[in-house]
C-alpha cells in the first residue's frame, strides 16, 4: 500500500473565535477503508471538505497523490476532480438535475466524454446501483435511501480513486443502510479508497479497517484498527460517542 492522501498540522477556523480543526495530521493509504468517528460538531465534515479542496486550511499542508492541494494548476484541479469524489451528508444539496438519468450523466459529460459513451456508461451504472427503474424520476421526489443511491451513483460513474462520504448512513432505513454499507465494501474491493465520517458505530464496525476518533476539542483523540477502537469503552465515553 502507498500513501495517497496526507494531512500535516491542519488548523481551520470558521471565525476568529471558532476553531473547527486543531493540528490534524493523518495519512490515508491506497485501498483503505478509513472511518472518522466523532460526535456532532467535532470537525469531521470540515475535515472531509478540506480533503476535497472545498475548504482551504488556515495552516498546514494537504497532499493528494503527492501534490499539494492549494498549489494545483487548473489542469491538475481537473485531474483531481476525476480522482476524488464527495458524497454530501444531505443528498438534496448534491442533486439538481431534472431526472435520475441526467443526474448520473452530468459528471461524465463535464469530463468531455462522447454522448454515446455517456449513455452506455450511465445505463450500466444505474443498473449496478438498482436505479434503472427510477431513471426518469425527479431525484427530489425519491425516498431518502433512493436519493443516497443516486448521489453515490452520480459520483461513482466516473470511477474515482478516493471516495469521501459525510455521514453516509444518516437518515436511512435499515434496508437502505445495509445496502449502502455493502455497496461501499464492494467498491473498495474493486479498488476505491473509502473515507467516511460518521458517528454510526455499527456501520463503522462493518465498513472500516482503520478508525480515527476526533474529540470535542476538534483534535484527533485516537487512531487504530477497528476492533481496537470500538472495544475501548473508556475512549468512546470520553469523546461522547456512547
Q: Is the pTM of this model over 0.75?
A: yes
31-58 pLDDT, tens per residue?
999 999 999 999 999 999 999 999 999 9
64 — alpha (psi -120 to 50), left (phi > 0) or beta?
beta
Q: Does 117 score more than 90 pLDDT?
A: yes
69-93 pLDDT, tens per residue?
988 898 898 899 999 999 999 999 9
Region 102-107: what's the mean pLDDT?
A: 95
111 touches 82 (CB < 8 A): yes
**CA-closest candidate to residue 131, choices 108, 105, 110, 111:** 105
Quickly tell me which residue has 473509502 as its cell: 194
**Cβ-based neighbour number of residue 57 at 10 Å:** 22
Please report how the helices 115-128 and 100-110 are oriented relative to each other, as an axis angle in degrees rounded to 10: 130
Domains with residue ranges and CATH for the chain = 31-53+74-238 (3.40.50.300)
Distance CA 143, CA 6 (A): 36
121-148 pLDDT, tens per residue?
999 999 999 999 999 999 999 999 999 9
pLDDT at 101: 97
Residues in contact with 187: Cβ distance below 8 Å, sequence separation at least 6, in sequence order: 156, 163, 194
Model confidence at 59, in pLDDT bands (50, 70, 90)?
very high
**How are beta strands 3-15 and 220-224 bridged, if at all?**
unpaired
171-202 pLDDT, tens per residue?
888 999 999 999 999 999 999 999 999 989 99
Q: Does 1 score more than 70 pLDDT?
A: no
Lowest mean pLDDT among 31-35, 59-63, 76-80, 217-221: 76-80
Amino acid at each position: 500500500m502507498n500513501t495517497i492522501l496526507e494531512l500535516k498540522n491542519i488548523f481551520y477556523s470558521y471565525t476568529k473565535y471558532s476553531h473547527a480543526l486543531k493540528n490534524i495530521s493523518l495519512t490515508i493509504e491506497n485501498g483503505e477503508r478509513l472511518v472518522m468517528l466523532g460526535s456532532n460538531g467535532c470537525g469531521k465534515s470540515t475535515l472531509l471538505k478540506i480533503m476535497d479542496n472545498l475548504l482551504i486550511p488556515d495552516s498546514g499542508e494537504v497532499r493528494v497523490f503527492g501534490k499539494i492541494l492549494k498549489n494545483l494548476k487548473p489542469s491538475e484541479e481537473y485531474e483531481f476532480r476525476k480522482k476524488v469524489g464527495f458524497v454530501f451528508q444531505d443528498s438534496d444539496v448534491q442533486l439538481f438535475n431534472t431526472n435520475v438519468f441526467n443526474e448520473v450523466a452530468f459528471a461524465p459529460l463535464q469530463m468531455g466524454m462522447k454522448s454515446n459513451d455517456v449513455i452506455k456508461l450511465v445505463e450500466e451504472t444505474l443498473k449496478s446501483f438498482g436505479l434503472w427503474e427510477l431513471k426518469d424520476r425527479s431525484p427530489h421526489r425519491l425516498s431518502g435511501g433512493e436519493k443516497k443511491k443516486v448521489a453515490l451513483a452520480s459520483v461513482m460513474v466516473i470511477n474515482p480513486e478516493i471516495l469521501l462520504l459525510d455521514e453516509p448512513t444518516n437518515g436511512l432505513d435499515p434496508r437502505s443502510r445495509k445496502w449502502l454499507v455493502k455497496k461501499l465494501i464492494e467498491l473498495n474491493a474493486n479498488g476505491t479508497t473509502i473515507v467516511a465520517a460518521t458517528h454510526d458505530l455499527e456501520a463503522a464496525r462493518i465498513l472500516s479497517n482503520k478508525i480515527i476518533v476526533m474529540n470535542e476539542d476538534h483534535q484527533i483523540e485516537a487512531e487504530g484498527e477497528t476492533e481496537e477502537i470500538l472495544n475501548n469503552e473508556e475512549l468512546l465515553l470520553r469523546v461522547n460517542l456512547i
